[in-house]
Amino acid sequence: MAEIRVRSTNERISGEENVRAFLDKQEVLYEHWDASKLPAELHNKFVLSDEEKATILSTFDSEIRDLAARRGYQIWDVISLSDATPNIEELLKKFEQIHTHTEDEIRGIVSGRGIFIIKGDENTGYFDVELEPGDVISVPENKAHFFTLMDNREIIAVRLFIEKDGWIANNIEDPTFA
């Protein structure tokens, strides 16, 4: 279950109802998949063959197709990041820049953990969404955000796209970020 931290006040929000209510108000889609469906041999495995990625997609096929039908996604894939990822430092540096894009950014977390840092409404400012397996989140189009890993630096997520180009990041400098 995701947890929220409001960066300006350090307030933490946990519990499904509270997290959902907070994210609803910030127009961030939040849903849940049953992560226990993941085949046992893929638990805590962060270096994946193409075949294993295909197994993950077929495991969550009905959930993916349901999201795609509701929200117009055309393509999907599996991303795996860990210290074994060859250019991980470079990738994280790239990820950790505040940006927007013209498509929403939707991720279904399959294993590991990660954080989206998202710019909320004026009263809220930036907040962290700490994600764990089963969490599905969509950062709306044109909303400032970035993504990073947590201390263990391991994540596997399903990504869905309307068009591949819609996800090109427009980096922004935001003096209100803290």
- CB-count exposure of residue 121 (10 Å: 0-12, 13-18, 19+): exposed
122 is in an annotated binding site: no
Cβ within 8 Å of residue 47, ≥6 positions away: 80, 82, 84
Q: Is 103 in the site for Fe ion (CB under 5 A)?
A: no
Nearer to Fe ion, 105 or 135 (CB): 105
Q: CB of residue 66 vs Fe ion: minimum separation in angstroms? A: 23
Closest residue to Fe ion, judged by C-beta, is: 105
Q: From 7-15, 20-28, 103-111, 121-129, give the range in contact with Fe ion by CB under 5 A.
A: 103-111
Task: Please state the length of the chain.
Answer: 178
Q: Distance between the two ends of the chain, CA-based, in angstroms?
A: 25
Q: DSSP letter string over 49-67?
A: -HHHHHHHHHHTHHHHHHH
Complex with Fe ion: residue 53 or 119, whichever CB lies closer: 119
**Shortest distance, CB of residue 100 to Fe ion, whole angstroms?**
8
Q: Is 105 in the site for Fe ion (CB under 5 A)?
A: yes
101 is in an annotated binding site: yes
Beta bridge partners of 158: 78, 108
Q: Minimum Å distance from CB 22 to Fe ion?
A: 20
Beta carbons within 8 Å of 15's beta carbon, 6+ residues apart? 1
Span interacting with Fe ion, options 27-35, 82-90, 105-113, 122-130, rule CB under 5 A: 105-113
| Contact set for Fe ion, span 18-47 (CB under 5 A) | none
Binding-site members for Ni(2+) are: 99, 101, 105, 145
